[in-house]
Structure 1
Amino acid sequence: MNKRKRVHDHEPRPRASPVDQEKARLRRSIAEIGEPSRSQVDEVLREITDAIVSAHEEVRPPVLETISAVVFEQPHKIPLLSFLVDLVNRKLPSFSRTVVEMTHTVIADALKFGLYRKLDVFLRFAASISVIDGNNVEELIADLAERANDIPHLALGHSLYSAAVFATLYRLNTGAPMNERIEKALLAFSPVVECDASEIAPFYGENAPYTGQFSIVLLAEAVRNAQAEGWPTDFLLKASRLLPEITDEDSKETHRFPAVQVAKADELVPSRISRHEPLRPPIWTRIYLPRDGIKTVPEPNTIFAQLLRDVASANINQMDFNRKEVTRQLITLDIFFESTKFAPPGVAFDELVNFTDGRSTIKVEDVALEAVLDQMFRLPSPGFPTVYFDTILIEACVMAPQAIAPVLGRALRFLFDNCESLDAEVYFRVIEWFGHHMSNFGFTWKWTEWTDALSLPKLHPKQVFMRELICKQVRLSYPQRVRDVLPSEFVGLVPEISEVPEFSYANDEKVSAFIKAAQESVERGLEAFDKLREAITAEKIGQEASELDKAISSVLVSSICQLGSRSVSHASTWVKQLSSLVRDNISDQQLTIDAIMSFWKEQPWTGALVLNRFVIEGLVSSESIVKYVTSHKDLLISNLGWEMLGRYEEGLEEAVQDISVDPWWDERLKKALLRRKAAKAQVAQLVAAEAAESSAPAQPEQKLVAAPPSEQEATTEVNELNAQPSEENGAEN
């Protein structure tokens, strides 16, 4: 019997035209410029140059778009891209002129619309293109630095100063002398920050491993240090050295960069709201402090450290639509700087003690991971859901396990050793991240290193950290799977979970009759509950009214939970169908919450999901949940309790005043909870103000790959990774 054939079974697939194929090849070559490949970088530069020069006219606009996208998303490639423009200029000046015009337009529009991150990177690009007549570029840098001095107390002033500093470095890297006006303005800047660093520092307190400092303050200090050292730029890649046969004496046409007018400080457009821009001046997070006199990351008050953190953060923030590409760029960041400034990739920390001959001990892996953790620990809120940063770190271990796992292990040990100094919000973010990470590598970890912490008091931060971390692993797996990988000393921390929740009224005939009637039809269930309520009332005659209310609440809510215990969707259905019973018979919402969490006491995370269905049906208010969580110590200091307080915030200001766990928890929880609520209110105000006042929408950025995933999709990706990586090399010492 002949199978039925589809219409298109034998039709050839449409073949891309030669022009489209040429576009794709060139765009990929530019996007991957400088990355490890079979060809040397100098050969790649020549090939791309020749391809652009000989390309069809239709190919050049897409090439221009790709250059623009790479500059914005991967600013560490700017030295190579600017040199590429110089090379093309020798054979096709019209294309280079178009690049200069595009760069000028982007910079002018960025100032006009308040897109200061775009202004920052494109100003660097303009400063590093040697075929540009640099006078107007330098005047623009000087103008921005002077405007920053007019508003040193505003985030806008900090953004302008940062843009001027980094553009100056790239300008100096072309061989241009230091502009006196720029130097004077940069050195005069004295940032003013209107909040205490300890309010948003990831570590604080007497035993903090270091004193938190604002990044903008460190940048100003780095500028003064750079000036004292003669403005070194020896860490920037000198792309011209790749083709030594091409000299500045070669005939080349220069292009005018039109002047860009910078408005007065009070007339500048405020920065547009962006999800990755901090609400407060960011703190410089440090994880890899010098050990045994060995520095694996540059000191934060050096211009090299500031530039590395900036380009790494740009990759993370501007390429969130492709976490794998972000990871690949981060762990190969060193090849876009002078090689002598980094230790060989993957070198073990113990081997660095032998680097006594002046070789650099800076590890690109440490630089990259510290930048990711800096973004993850940003307060009051990170720029993306924390699961995004989780996936970057997971991908790093998958791509380069031998190089990344030891570095990650050092970070985790540092965080655990100093968890008593952690801000409460950062504390729970670490648990969330570490739990996700371990679930992707077979839950393996050198637990015996933490054996001493088992003897600490129950409420000690390290005790709670271990307990909540194991609980998180159980949520992502199941108890026996976790027990199998834990040393015997830690098995006692694994919560006991039965396959079927215990139903307290399983042997009560009246309750069983009500459940059976409800399963037959909602109407019969309503009638059966009337009889059940009468029976309960008769049993409680002579007792206080509160006892009667508690009994009715417990029976009704526990029965609903039992009916919906098969899944959250079942629970949702039964809550909706029997909502009238809850509404008519329970007046104290605390009794409803208590009954739900008691039924799901062995799986409180499931109880939280069921509780949310009661909120959706209007049976429980957010304020009641906040009051419940803050009045239950074990829940309050758990990762689940923190999640719940992040979802429900009504009445939080009043509830936090009643928190009473112990001094350490009380102070940190109150501070973190109120800060998080205030931050959400601030975001809402800013978004509303921008929507009302702004008449020009933000320009969409050119993306090279795909649209960013939703938070739900990102979370799904974390779970899907569970079966992919090896159980080894997740985090080593």
Structure 2
Amino acid sequence: MSYDRPHRGGGNRRRYRDDYDDRRREPYESPADKLKTSIIKFGDLDVEQELPTIEKHIRDSAPYNIPNLSEAFRIAVTEQPYKIPHYVTLLRRLHDIPPEETSSEGPSLGKQILEDFWKGFQAYLDKLAWRETRLCIHFFAHLTVAKLIAADSLFGLLQSFTAVLEEFGVSHGRAKKAAVCAGEGLMIGGPVLKPASAEHVQEIVNAIQAYNDTLTNPKTLVAPMVNLYSEETPPNELLDILLRALKTLDESDFTETASSFLQPYTSIEDPDPATFVPYNLPSVLVPPEVIELDGLATDSGEEAQVKKEEWPEYFIPLFDNDVTPDPQTPAGYAVYAGLTDIIDIYEVNRKECARLLLEFPKWTVPGTFKPKPGATNAPEPVPEKDWQLESTVIENLLGAYLVLPEASQKSIYYIGLITELCKLSPSTVGPAVGKSIRKLYSMLGEGLDVEVARRFAEWFAIHMSNFGFQWVWKEWIPELSLAVQHPKRAFMRRAIEFEIRLSYHDRILKTLPQEMQAPEGHTIGEQAPGPDFEYDDPAKPHHDAAQAVLNLFRGRAKAEDVIAHLETLKGTLDTSDDGEIVNVDGLIRSIAMQSLLHIGSRSFSHLLNAIERYLPLLRHIASGGVSSASGSGTPEAKADILTASAAFWKLNRHMVAIVFDKLMQYQIVDPTDVVAWTFVHRGEIRQFSEATGPLSLSAFEWDLLKGALDKANGRVMIARRKVVALRKEDDDNRARVKAKAEGNTVMEVDGEENVPEKTDEALAADSPALTTALKAFTSLTREQKAALSRTLDGFVSCLAPGASDANPNPHSRVVISEDGWSDRAGWEKDQWDAWETWGWYRQFCRSYAPYLRNYSTTLWTVSFAKFDGSTDPAAELLKKTWQVATGQE
């Protein structure tokens, strides 16, 4: 039989069949898709060699699929902006009609692609996709220099963006983006635009300058280097450097554009003006701003329409101008803008981003950067250029990361990107990172903003964790002689605290020199982070009572049984050992809370399980004492709970923030309670002699405040989204009821009655979910307002306790005076405490400006009315900062 015959080749046939099946499963790529891919990948290997090949490939694809070709160009321009000059060269060649097609009629292939490209640009503009719009303007500006677009039409396009700057009430975010679109388009297209109309060039520059002149106050609030005593605008803000570069180009009649922006298309002979008609860009209007709803309420109780606040952007120079380019020069600005675009666009793939950043010289004017060691055919160095690539990349990355009040991307992206750069080229990127760390460290104590310093410490710790925690700490031993709250010493403590979170105490301790390990160095804790159960020692008071409660938790007793035991325990704790009356309710709350946290201290999941199991108990003790379960809680009881939690985790302050967050999440305490506790009780768990007075806040307290405010604001946003969804559902129900009633009226027959239309009250009664959601939204809005008000009042009390006081806060006055700042070398702990508190007040105002603006009337009355008529400089600066943040100045 056949199955007895020897098998020859059967296995191979099966293998070939399997391979064929696998190929069949691959997605089909049409010739149009292949052409699009080849256009997008143009230049990845060698631009000069690929240019004639890709041109021939496109011309051989006739009949042409113009939408497909223009889409490939749009994708390339908006996702690979460093290639824009080369795509202009390609389009310029496609504009020329080859000899074999001279008899063909109609526009050239290049013009057809450009016309369809414009449709995509208009779509970007209609959606206010600002980055894509700006990069398309770069493309048009290069095409204008290549003589493919009429200069007058590019002028019209740029002027449509400068018109945005004159809109009434234009937001800074919208105006800034429009100004950059117009300014960068002029920088690139200037060599053609200036000869065409010097007057129009000056109009564009003047429009940007006029708007920039209105930004003095906002700039002072987000500058990375702080001068509390001065209103001078710090340098290196985005629009400032744009204007300086523009004016430098204008003064030279844009002759420096060719040495700043790559222009490979200039080697192609200009089209014959007798036969070629340049493309005229159609007129456009920038669409109005889209208002985003954020679930806020105004002082009148109405919902407000707001969007996230956008502020001026500052660049932090870390190196000398002979090492990295000065962004205020045309060439420096071109490098700065090019690197920033790559960093923003490739946020989805940091490894690819790192590769492109290290290949950036390939897309710049030859001689811009120093060649790699051992590179062959390297271009000759260009005078006043020849910069170090790695230092330039790190400087731009850290500049984007340290933007105030927050960066455009998540912090972990910038940190991870620097790590990828170090892995790709450790011998060149590593030294640049080390120099950047030392430069930022030298700026501490010289006015570096407290939020910038906090992010610096976070990046430093994470970066060290990726490379074995290797740092030359002995370089900073001399700073141990500074005041304990000096920013450099505070940075050391916070960075080491972050490092311990990422590793463990003993390992980090071994990386430090002996001077920093010693307790008198106030740099690292003597004990490893962990719980500190106050009643664990048998020699301490109330040990037996706490053990009894702890045993109930270990035995997983019911919450009701624990509550009953606490009631019984109350009678045995009326007096202390010496007969002095104690706060029995507060003591019982402390025992119960610390015992519960002790059960949950083994892991995060243990903590959550313990809280969830004993939610009734927590709500009971938060209600004003174990003997009263009425009401939503009392401030004293909630403060006791927070104090007990903080005392239990005082050796691990990260866990304090986590426990506070979970207590807010389960609504044991409110955000307002956390804010109030932070300002009143914060000194109870200070470490390393930190800010023992009542007039200061450190970064730890700011983390608690930020967590509470973000919780309050987030709840309002969620509640508002729910209200919007239910309202839409309710409107749909109303529409269906109305349509049904109208349909019955039309189709009415004898003997039938019309269906009466339901009233609004009846429809509302049919939607109890909406009624509940509206009540919740109102309640959460009230809570949000209370949290913001309590925070503002706390800062005011810290920095200027009262206008009637003869000396409200002497340290606060010192740090905001020019003489006091000049004498900062002699500042002690209290002065640096006050300076840091001023910094966190500034961060509060600029971070939560949209929320503060909606309650500005009420908050001003509550917190600042007492300063009416006061000339105290601290009160004046408080009010000034508030008014700038809320848009009143």
TM range (shorter): 0.7 to 0.9
* Correspondence 1:645 to 2:705: yes
Which stretch shifts more, 169-178 or 543-552?
A: 169-178
Does the residue aligned with 2:672 lie in a helix, a strand or coil? helix
What pairs up with 1:698-713 in 2 under 5 angstroms? none
Deviation, structure 1 residue 394 = 1.5
Query: Residue 83 of structure 1 corresponds to which residue in structure 2?
Result: 89
* Correspondence 1:143 to 2:143: no
Query: Structure 1: which amino acid aligns with 2:645?
Result: I
Aligned partners of 1:498 and 1:69: how far apart in 2?
53
The superposition leaves residues 181-201 of structure 1 with CA deviations (integer Å, 9 ceiling, x where unpaired) of: 432213433222334333111
Query: Residue 316 of structure 1 corresponds to which residue in structure 2?
Result: 343
Query: Residue 227 of structure 2 corresponds to which residue in structure 1?
Result: 205
Aligned partners of 1:111 and 1:182: how far apart in 2?
23
Within the candidate set 234, 250, 260, 1:227 is matched to: 250
Within the candidate set 520, 525, 540, 1:495 is matched to: 525
Aligned partners of 1:259 and 1:27: how far apart in 2?
26
In structure 2, the CA distance between the partners of 1:386 and 1:604, relative to structure 1 (3 Å rule), is: same
Query: Residue 731 of structure 1 corresponds to which residue in structure 2?
Result: none
Does the residue aligned with 1:85 lie in a helix, a strand or coil? helix
Query: Residue 848 of structure 2 corresponds to which residue in structure 1?
Result: 680
Within the candidate set 262, 269, 278, 2:288 is matched to: 269
Tell me if structure 2 keeps the 8 A contact 1:536–1:548. Answer: yes
Q: Quick one: percent identity of the two aligned structures?
A: 21
Query: Residue 59 of structure 2 corresponds to which residue in structure 1?
Result: 53
Aligned length: 658
* Correspondence 1:577 to 2:577: no
In structure 2, the CA distance between the partners of 1:149 and 1:449, relative to structure 1 (3 Å rule), is: same
TM-score, reference length from structure 1? 0.80
Within the candidate set 635, 640, 646, 1:591 is matched to: 640
* Correspondence 1:388 to 2:413: yes
Within the candidate set 650, 660, 663, 2:831 is matched to: 663
Query: Residue 287 of structure 1 corresponds to which residue in structure 2?
Result: 318
Deviation, structure 1 residue 498 = 4.8
* Correspondence 1:329 to 2:373: no
In structure 2, the CA distance between the partners of 1:335 and 1:544, relative to structure 1 (3 Å rule), is: farther
Does the residue aligned with 1:341 lie in a helix, a strand or coil? coil
Aligned partners of 2:357 and 2:308: how far apart in 1?
20
Deviation, structure 1 residue 83 = 1.1
* Correspondence 1:343 to 2:370: yes
Query: Structure 1: which amino acid aligns with 2:534?
Result: S
What pairs up with 1:416-435 in 2 under 5 angstroms? 416-420=441-445, 421-435=447-461
Within the candidate set 494, 498, 502, 1:476 is matched to: 502
Aligned partners of 1:522 and 1:548: how far apart in 2?
23
Aligned partners of 2:408 and 2:500: how far apart in 1?
28
Which stretch shifts more, 144-153 or 100-109?
A: 144-153
Aligned partners of 1:119 and 1:309: how far apart in 2?
19
Deviation, structure 1 residue 639 = 4.6
Query: Structure 2: which amino acid aligns with 1:550?
Result: G
Aligned partners of 1:77 and 1:277: how far apart in 2?
32
Aligned partners of 2:363 and 2:192: how far apart in 1?
16
Which stretch shifts more, 618-627 or 662-671?
A: 662-671
Within the candidate set 96, 99, 102, 2:116 is matched to: 102
The superposition leaves residues 112-163 of structure 1 with CA deviations (integer Å, 9 ceiling, x where unpaired) of: 4434433322122122223634245323245236526746995344433322
Query: Structure 1: which amino acid aligns with 2:791?
Result: L
Tell me if structure 1 keeps the 8 A contact 2:81–2:341. Answer: yes
Within the candidate set 270, 291, 295, 1:248 is matched to: 270
In structure 2, the CA distance between the partners of 1:675 and 1:528, relative to structure 1 (3 Å rule), is: closer
Deviation, structure 1 residue 663 = 2.9
Aligned partners of 1:618 and 1:277: how far apart in 2?
27
Tell me if structure 1 keeps the 8 A contact 2:530–2:651. Answer: no
Does the residue aligned with 2:348 lie in a helix, a strand or coil? coil
Kindly name which structure, 1 or 2, has the bigger radius of gyration based on alpha carbons: 2
Aligned partners of 2:831 and 2:837: how far apart in 1?
10
Tell me if structure 1 keeps the 8 A contact 2:325–2:335. Answer: no
What pairs up with 1:120-199 in 2 under 5 angstroms? 120-129=134-143, 130=146, 132-135=148-151, 137-144=153-160, 147=163, 150=166, 154=170, 155=172, 156-172=174-190, 177-189=195-207, 190=209, 191-196=212-217, 197-199=219-221
In structure 2, the CA distance between the partners of 1:447 and 1:166, relative to structure 1 (3 Å rule), is: same
Aligned partners of 1:486 and 1:569: how far apart in 2?
33
Query: Residue 562 of structure 1 corresponds to which residue in structure 2?
Result: 598
Does the residue aligned with 1:565 lie in a helix, a strand or coil? coil
In structure 2, the CA distance between the partners of 1:30 and 1:600, relative to structure 1 (3 Å rule), is: farther
Deviation, structure 1 residue 472 = 0.5
Gaps of 5+ in 1: 1-7, 348-354, 687-733
Aligned partners of 1:346 and 1:677: how far apart in 2?
48
In structure 2, the CA distance between the partners of 1:314 and 1:274, relative to structure 1 (3 Å rule), is: farther
Query: Residue 301 of structure 1 corresponds to which residue in structure 2?
Result: 328
* Correspondence 1:20 to 2:34: no
Tell me if structure 2 keeps the 8 A contact 1:213–1:284. Answer: yes
Aligned partners of 2:441 and 2:505: how far apart in 1?
23
Aligned partners of 1:576 and 1:462: how far apart in 2?
41
Aligned partners of 1:581 and 1:76: how far apart in 2?
61
Deviation, structure 1 residue 599 = 1.4
Does the residue aligned with 2:134 lie in a helix, a strand or coil? helix
Aligned partners of 2:395 and 2:586: how far apart in 1?
52
Deviation, structure 1 residue 284 = 3.2
Within the candidate set 214, 235, 241, 2:237 is matched to: 214
Deviation, structure 1 residue 304 = 2.2
Tell me if structure 2 keeps the 8 A contact 1:144–1:161. Answer: no
The superposition leaves residues 461-500 of structure 1 with CA deviations (integer Å, 9 ceiling, x where unpaired) of: 1111111111100001111222233333333433344586
Query: Residue 261 of structure 2 corresponds to which residue in structure 1?
Result: 236
Aligned partners of 1:447 and 1:103: how far apart in 2?
56
Deviation, structure 1 residue 312 = 2.2
Tell me if structure 2 keeps the 8 A contact 1:126–1:137. Answer: no
Query: Structure 1: which amino acid aligns with 2:206?
Result: A
Aligned partners of 2:77 and 2:571: how far apart in 1?
74
Tell me if structure 2 keeps the 8 A contact 1:237–1:337. Answer: yes
Tell me if structure 1 keeps the 8 A contact 2:599–2:607. Answer: yes
In structure 2, the CA distance between the partners of 1:256 and 1:229, relative to structure 1 (3 Å rule), is: closer
The superposition leaves residues 308-338 of structure 1 with CA deviations (integer Å, 9 ceiling, x where unpaired) of: 2223222223332222233333333222121
Tell me if structure 2 keeps the 8 A contact 1:100–1:132. Answer: no
Aligned partners of 2:837 and 2:68: how far apart in 1?
51
Aligned partners of 1:637 and 1:474: how far apart in 2?
23
TM-score, reference length from structure 2? 0.67
Query: Structure 1: which amino acid aligns with 2:588?
Result: I
Deviation, structure 1 residue 442 = 0.9
The superposition leaves residues 80-132 of structure 1 with CA deviations (integer Å, 9 ceiling, x where unpaired) of: 11112223334697653343123322333444443443332212212222363
Does the residue aligned with 2:583 lie in a helix, a strand or coil? helix
* Correspondence 1:405 to 2:430: yes
Deviation, structure 1 residue 65 = 3.1
Gaps of 5+ in 2: 1-16, 99-106, 295-306, 375-379, 625-635, 688-695, 710-786, 800-828, 855-889
Deviation, structure 1 residue 532 = 4.3
In structure 2, the CA distance between the partners of 1:258 and 1:186, relative to structure 1 (3 Å rule), is: closer
In structure 2, the CA distance between the partners of 1:63 and 1:473, relative to structure 1 (3 Å rule), is: farther
Please give the root-mean-square deviation of Cα atoms over the aligned residues, in Å: 3.8
Does the residue aligned with 1:192 lie in a helix, a strand or coil? helix
Tell me if structure 1 keeps the 8 A contact 2:67–2:116. Answer: no
In structure 2, the CA distance between the partners of 1:173 and 1:357, relative to structure 1 (3 Å rule), is: closer
Deviation, structure 1 residue 214 = 2.9
